Amino acid sequence: MNPLIKELKGANMDIDMATPKDKILWHQDTCPWNEAEETQDHKCAVKNISLCPYFCGVNYMDILLCCYPHPNPLSEENPVNRGINDGNL
């Protein structure tokens, strides 16, 4: 990582891929989980409420990283990562 950039934990983000087209002026891709379930319920990161289990972060400037429908490769709840974190792999 660029040494001028710091990683700060605990961001209170508000990110979704479910904003109605008439509410924003730019193109927004659709949440694949919402698309699969034909809903608008799933949000990536909602301030003070939740973080989607498929949320893998963001890339500059506004690129969402999403792993749906696969288990999150970054989550500590992913057995693969749990093994690494436990020193079992």
Note the residues at the interface with ligand SF4 (CB under 6 A).
Answer: 17, 31-33, 42-44, 52, 54-55, 64, 66, 68
User: Beta-carbon neighbour count of residue 13 at 10 Å?
Assistant: 12
Find the shortest distance in angstroms from Cβ 87 to ligand SF4.
29
Find the shortest distance in angstroms from Cβ 41 to ligand SF4.
9
HEC letters along the chain:
CCCCCCCCCCCCCCECCCCCHHHCCCCCCCCHHHHHHCCCCCCCEECCCEECCCEEEEECCCEEEECCCCCCCCCCCCHHHHHHHCCCC
Which residue number, 32 or 71, has a Cβ lying nearer to ligand SF4?
Answer: 32
Find the shortest distance in angstroms from Cβ 3 to ligand SF4.
29
Which residue number, 8 or 43, has a Cβ lying nearer to ligand SF4?
Answer: 43
Which residue number, 42 or 86, has a Cβ lying nearer to ligand SF4?
Answer: 42
